[in-house]
C-alpha cells in the first residue's frame, strides 16, 4: 500500500507521471468511475504492472478499469499508439513493408497543427503521443530492416 504523498506506483514502485483528473474520469469504465476519489492521480507506465492510475492515498485503477487498451502495458504487435487518430503498430508495420517507411508521425503532426488532437483526454497517459509514436516508428523500421537482412542471408 502506498504511503501518503507517494509518487511511485504501490505495486511496481515505478515513478508515476502526473495525469489530469479529467483524463482519469474520461477513461475509467462506468463501474470504476464509481470508485473514483478526487485527488492527484499518476500514470504507471511499467509494462509488467497492471496498475494504470494511482493516487497518494493508495487508490489504484488497473487495465481492466479503463475503457481502452493501454499500449505501454500490452505486448508489442498491434497496439494503438495514437488514441486520437488510431495510429497502431500493425498499420505502421504494413506501411513500412509497402513503402519502406511509415508516415504516422507526419499524419499526426498535421492533425496537431490543425488543432484536432485531444491527447489530454484520449491518451491514458494524458499527454501528447508524438514522442511515443516516433519511438514506435523507429523501432518498427529497425525491426523491418533486421528482418530483411535475415531473409537475404
Looking at the structure, tell me whether residues 55 and 89 fall in a common domain. Answer: no
- The answer to whether position 7 is within a domain reads no
Same domain, 41 and 110: no
pTM, two decimal places: 0.87
In a structure prediction context, what are the per-residue pLDDT tens digits for the chain, which is 153 residues long?
444 447 999 999 999 999 999 999 999 999 999 999 999 999 999 999 999 999 999 999 999 999 999 999 999 888 999 999 999 999 999 999 999 999 999 999 999 999 999 999 999 999 999 999 999 999 999 988 876 544 444
Can you name the residues that pair with 54 across neighbouring β-strands? 42, 60
Domain count, the chain: 2
Place of cell 513500412: 96
Q: Domain span at residue 24? A: 17-65
Last residue of a domain, which of 9, 39, 65? 65
Q: Following CA atoms 60, 64, 69, 70 in sequence, which dihedral angle do they give, to the nearest 10 degrees?
A: 20
Whether residues 56 and 85 share a domain: the answer is no
Is residue 4, in this structure, part of any structural domain at all?
no
Q: Are residues 85 and 143 in the same domain?
A: yes
Amino acid at each position: 500500500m502506498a504511503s501518503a504523498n507517494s509518487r511511485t506506483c504501490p505495486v511496481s514502485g515505478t515513478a508515476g507521471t502526473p495525469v489530469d483528473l479529467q483524463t482519469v474520469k474520461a477513461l475509467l469504465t462506468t463501474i470504476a468511475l464509481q470508485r473514483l476519489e478526487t485527488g492527484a492521480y499518476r500514470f504507471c507506465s511499467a509494462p509488467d504492472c497492471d496498475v494504470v492510475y494511482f493516487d497518494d492515498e493508495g487508490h489504484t485503477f488497473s487495465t481492466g478499469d479503463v475503457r481502452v487498451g493501454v499500449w505501454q502495458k500490452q505486448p508489442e504487435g498491434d497496439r494503438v499508439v495514437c488514441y486520437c487518430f488510431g495510429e497502431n503498430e500493425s498499420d505502421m508495420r504494413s506501411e513500412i513493408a509497402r513503402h519502406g517507411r511509415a508516415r504516422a508521425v507526419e499524419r499526426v503532426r498535421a492533425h496537431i497543427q490543425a488543432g484536432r488532437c485531444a491527447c489530454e483526454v484520449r491518451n491514458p497517459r494524458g499527454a501528447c503521443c508524438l514522442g511515443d509514436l516516433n519511438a514506435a516508428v523507429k523501432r518498427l523500421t529497425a525491426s523491418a530492416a533486421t528482418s530483411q537482412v535475415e531473409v537475404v542471408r
